[in-house]
Amino acid sequence: MNFRAIWEGRLPLERIRWGSKQFSEYKLPRKLDLKRRINWEQYSQVNTNDYDGKLLFLEHFYDSKDKLILDTGFIRYSTVIFMVKNNLSVKKGIGMLGVQCLIFSPCNNYILVGERTLSQSYYPGITTIPGGMLESEDLKSEPKLAFMREINEETPFEFQPNANLNAVLLGWNNISVTFLTSISIKSTNDFNPSEIILGDKNEWENNLRWLSIEELKNYPPEKLLDGLTYYQLKTSEIGISTDYLD
């Protein structure tokens, strides 16, 4: 997967703040936007579960006294789909705002993964971690709650209060920006790495499962989505590390 890290560190999610909420929409030039609307009519007839929602668009972000401030607008889902299919990059700002979360087992040597459904319009069958796109409604919550919304919806676990931001990844043809977070599930005496974790059938081909960090290190990179690829590179460089969880 093509991506690059534009921020790396370890920052508690409580230190992330919404900045300017411009409510400006990222739009394509007029002729392309007309094609976008025509293509969306065709696309939505086939992909009936998708809707043209207002997704958060990250204009820019900056550090301020050990906090990360996010200035946002929005972009329509149909615009994102059109840009992906036509190999277009954003001309201003950073990209559609999404989040992926590395969820570690109590012993920190397994990570929760799943395979995207084969019916997905992008990256079908690719192994990834829970996450999703943020929407304009998420601005009503603190960033930590917004970042954890998708995670809480997709998994049945209670988490320790140690959620961190570890990287900001620019990818998907420079259309999207992913905030890579990490958490671990609460310690339990009956953890079973062979247990299948029930997941949303619209999201996951075969539910969710635990993948050992050692197995991840040898996983084919082309079969991973960017958040897992990034972590795979980190574990290969420095060995198995629990720095994400301290």
DSSP labels, 117-151: -TT-SSSTT-EE-SEEE-BGGGGGS-HHHHHHHHH
What pLDDT score does 242 carry? 44
With residue 39 as reference, give the H or E element that holds it: helix 30-46
3-state helix, strand, coil in the chain (%, to 5): 30, 35, 35
DSSP code for 49: T
- Residue ranges for the chain with pLDDT beneath 70: 1, 121, 158-160, 172-173, 188, 237-246
Tell me how far apart the alpha carbons of residues 4 and 19 are, in angstroms, rounded to a whole number. 24
Ordered domains of the chain (ranges, CATH): 3-245 (3.90.79.10)
pLDDT of residue 241: 46
152-167 burial code (b ≥16 CB/10 A, e <16): eebbeeebeeebbbbb
pTM above 0.95, yes or no: no
Task: Provide the pLDDT for residue 173.
Answer: 67
Phi, psi angle pair for 171, to nearest 5°: -160, -155
Between strands 204-212 and 176-184, the pairing is: unpaired
Q: What is the spatial distance between Cα 243 and Cα 226, in angstroms, rounded to a whole number?
A: 19
- Quote the Cα angle for 77-68-98, to 5°: 20
d(CA 87, CA 65): 38
